[in-house]
Amino acid sequence: MLPSSQPVQEELGERNVVDAGQEYARQNSILLSEGGESLRLSPNNWRIRFGLPEEGSGKFLDLGFDALAQRVTGERRLDITSAQSPIPRTSLPSESSPATGGSGFR
């Protein structure tokens, strides 16, 4: 007998949704860098997110998917970067630096 428990059915549904998102990306010549993760928003509506291999991290393809109609309902590209700007590095002079009386040479 095949397993038909709810968690198994949900996992199979999630896998099918991610596969459909990957197929959509392929058909639209969108290169993905990693496997997708999905979130069920309602019984038939999902959000699927894939990483994009563009320069710099934090770029994603976000798809809406209708599982009943088996089609993508929306597409957007996200650039998720840190809300804080990087803290500038302050470099302290080394012992051999002219700023501390050294020659700058070792």
Q: pLDDT, tens digit, for every residue of 53-94?
A: 865 567 899 999 999 999 999 999 988 764 433 444 333 344
Q: What is the mean pLDDT of residues 7-18?
A: 74
Among the ranges given (2-16, 27-41, 46-60, 80-94), the one the predictor scored with the smallest mean pLDDT: 80-94
| Maximum CA extent, the chain | 82
pTM score > 0.95 for this model? Answer: no
pLDDT, residue 85, reads 38
Which residue in 30, 36, 34 sits closest to 14, CA to CA? 36
d(CA 96, CA 105): 6
